[in-house]
Amino acid sequence: MDWEDARMFLTVAREGQLLGAAKRLGVNQATLSRRLTHLERNLQATLVVRGPQGCALTEEGQSLMARIERAETAMQEGEALFRGRAAKLSGTVRIGAPDGFGVQFLAPRLGILARRHPELRVELVPVPRAFSLSQREADVAILVGRPERGRAVAAKLTDYSLGLYASHRYLAAAGTPAAAADLKDHRLVGNVEDLVSAPGLDYVTEFFGETRPTIAISTAFGQLEAVRGGAGIGVLHDFIVGDDPGLARVLPEMTVTRSYWLAYHESLRAIHRVQAVVEFIRSQVAAAGDWQRSR
Amino acid sequence: MDWEDARMFLTVAREGQLLGAAKRLGVNQATLSRRLTHLERNLQATLVVRGPQGCALTEEGQSLMARIERAETAMQEGEALFRGRAAKLSGTVRIGAPDGFGVQFLAPRLGILARRHPELRVELVPVPRAFSLSQREADVAILVGRPERGRAVAAKLTDYSLGLYASHRYLAAAGTPAAAADLKDHRLVGNVEDLVSAPGLDYVTEFFGETRPTIAISTAFGQLEAVRGGAGIGVLHDFIVGDDPGLARVLPEMTVTRSYWLAYHESLRAIHRVQAVVEFIRSQVAAAGDWQRSR
DNA sequence: CCTCCATTATGCAAATATGCATAACCACTC
DNA sequence: GAGTGGTTATGCATATTTGCATAATGGAGG
């Protein structure tokens, strides 16, 4: 017995006519007639007597109706488990983001998201080194570079660039390098090799070559503060440095470009609250324009 | 929530993998994948975590499963109301038939039907004058002539003929008519005008013209017995008279042909026991061949 | 680390269901 | 008795679902 046929029969039984029941169910009257016929054939029973006067339930139809009503109760209870949450987008969405993007771009804007979707709860976490969307370590991930093939839905967000910076104080004391070859004579600030969380994040070697940084810090802001404090020359995100008066660009022709990608596991495609967050991030990035360059 | 989607999810939940569940449900694995996706989208929830290792139920999936199981119990109970009866053709079928066909042809053969379908109960009743299949006065009706337009499924069974007969004793006493014009000088046996149950049954006027029968009897066998008893000349079914040595054909060139039709209300098309009876009658008529002429 | 196997996901053609339009039906009213 | 209105049933074109074939995935074993 087709349970959808049964559900439709229940509405016919209550309505007393095919036309009215069809309207209530949002299907065509012809469809409902056929679904009912299908059910009667399957059960080898006449459930209703149809005519221009509508549909009268037979005794057999009465008996079946009682059972389907119990099924309906259970189904409605099951549906109720999800109803409120889907409509209100309630629930938690965990965003994994590299701290450059997460702290500098996203964190200041999460207030907008919170006001727009008061029923939503957002968690912002760093992207762990061996990140797995399939393990649900985050619902939405901001990644550097396109994620490898897998069950992820991915979309490029934006490009961004990094460059060499040092504090004025440091350069006054140590001199400003005139060429890349001069860098080996300087104190360098970079990230922790072992904790590089994505192939795209090993840009330090693109700037420093074989020279290993004297000071290795795992977070972008940690590196920023160290460079600002005069620790040495470091590779910083242009959009993070912005117009910071305490920092000077070093060897400006040395620049590297990366791109941020947004990804989430495909099984979350149907979850409205996840889609709301995805849409929000995308729209904010679009609205900011070339934000990492205009600063 | 689509109840068929829910029913399929239940099987996936139990089976732990799409492929096995699809086999159990008799659908393609691809179909099941889509049905599950459809359900998850509708509920805005992830019910299972899918992968090459199969499907693991989420907590939300567990909760929903419990409710669908209760719905399943109710649905199975509903189905059980019909299961045994459909399979065994149990129940009663009422056949309405003109007594010519009903008594002479059908009644002697009902033993075959009973042995073939022991769980079936058959009622043979006369076709009332204002017969209505839609009122379920009979499940299957044998009618003379094609039924008028309506919600009936109709099929022609066979042709049959009627002729004039009288007993030898009567003809010896009253003489044998040489032409139709001579009939007005004879005692005629016919049917009761007011009780003619179908247009096709008013054949008496085709034989007797304006002359009204002296003796009017409502049943074919009643007429037969009256004619056999020497009451006069009557219009009898050739297949009923057969080779009766007591009766002589009168004016053999005067013959009229009618046809028997089988009809039942279209709402009974799906009822197996009705179809079994319909098939039985048809096959018996076919097997008898031109039975009403070969006697 | 590579290969294999059993699983799920998806493009596309085929099969089926659906909606539209209209015929058929019956009860009611004039 | 004819006309009307509201119902159900059905042919056919269109929309949707399904199955097939195959790609993609991840775990197990060598």
Write the single-letter amino acid at A186: H
Within B137-254, residue ranges assigned H as helices are 168-174, 204-208, 220-228, 238-241
Q: Taking Cα atoms as reference points, which of B94, B89, B92 lies closest to residue B132?
A: B94
The token pair at A273 is 């609250």
Pair B61, B78 in one domain: yes
The answer to whether the C-beta of B155 is closer than 7 A to strand D is no
Per residue in A229-252, pLDDT (tens digit) is 888 899 898 888 888 888 999 999
Per residue in A7-19, pLDDT (tens digit) is 999 999 999 999 9
Residues of A in contact with B81 (CB under 8 A): 60, 63-64, 67
The answer to whether the C-beta of B19 is closer than 7 A to strand C is yes
Pair B123, B267 in one domain: yes
Q: Greater confidence, A250 or A59?
A: A250
* Residue range B283-290: mean pLDDT, rounded: 76
**pLDDT value of residue A32:** 96
Q: Greater confidence, A188 or A146?
A: A188
Pair B177, B225 in one domain: yes
Pair B47, B69 in one domain: yes
* Residue range B16-23: mean pLDDT, rounded: 93
Tell me the nearest-neighbour CA distance from A128 into chain B, angstroms: 22
The answer to whether the C-beta of A29 is closer than 7 A to strand D is yes
Per residue in A77-87, pLDDT (tens digit) is 999 988 766 55
Domain with A9 in it: 3-87
Pair B74, B95 in one domain: no
* Dihedral (Cα; B247, B248, B254, B255), 10-degree rounding: 40
Burial (CB < 10 A; 0-12, 13-18, 19+), residue A160, is: buried
Position A152 pLDDT exceeds 80 = no
Pair A98, A72 in one domain: no
The helix, strand and coil proportions of chain B, stated in percent and rounded to the nearest 5, come to 50, 25, 25
Pair B71, B186 in one domain: no
Position B293 pLDDT exceeds 50 = no
Pair A69, A190 in one domain: no
Per residue in B178-216, pLDDT (tens digit) is 988 888 888 888 876 655 555 566 677 778 887 777 777
Q: Taking Cα atoms as reference points, which of B244, B260, B236, B37 lies closest to residue B142?
A: B260
Predicted complex ipTM exceeds 0.90 = no
**pLDDT value of residue B88:** 56
* Residue range B5-28: mean pLDDT, rounded: 94
Highest mean pLDDT among A133-137, A255-259, B115-119, B261-265: A255-259
CA distances in angstroms from A116 to A119, A120, A142, listed in the order given:
9, 9, 21
CB contact under 8 A, A1 and B267: no
| CATH code of B211's domain | 3.40.190.10
CA distance B47 to B18: 13
Residues of B in contact with A25 (CB under 8 A): none
* Residue range A265-273: mean pLDDT, rounded: 72
Pair B265, B133 in one domain: yes
CA distance B87 to B235: 45
Pair B219, B252 in one domain: yes
Position B294 pLDDT exceeds 70 = no
Residues in B whose CB is inside 8 Å of some CB of A read: 1-4, 6-7, 37, 40-41, 43-46, 49-51, 60, 63-64, 66-75, 77-79, 81-82, 85-86, 134, 267-268, 270-272
Per residue in B51-101, pLDDT (tens digit) is 888 888 888 899 999 999 999 999 999 999 887 665 556 677 878 887 778
Nearest-5° angle of CA B157, CA B161, CA B165?
A: 145
CB contact under 8 A, B1 and A75: yes
Position A288 pLDDT exceeds 80 = no
Write the single-letter amino acid at B293: R
Pair B102, B175 in one domain: no
Residues 166-225 of B with CB under 7 A from strand C: none
CB contact under 8 A, B45 and A86: yes
Mean pLDDT of chain B: 81
**pLDDT value of residue A108:** 78
Buried b (16+ CB within 10 A) or exposed e, B59-84: ebbebbbebbebbbebbebbbeebee
| CATH code of B74's domain | 1.10.10.10
The pLDDT-based confidence of A147 (bands split at 50, 70, 90) is: low
Tell me the nearest-neighbour CA distance from A80 into chain B, angstroms: 9
Among A44, A74, A78, the residue with its CB nearest the CB of B271 is A44
**pLDDT value of residue B77:** 92
The pLDDT-based confidence of B295 (bands split at 50, 70, 90) is: very low
**For chain B, what is the domain count?**
3
Residue for token pair 């066909």: B101
CA distance A131 to A264: 12
Pair B195, B226 in one domain: yes
Within chain B, residue ranges assigned H as helices are 3-15, 18-25, 29-43, 59-88, 99, 110-116, 168-174, 204-208, 220-228, 238-241, 272-288, 291-294
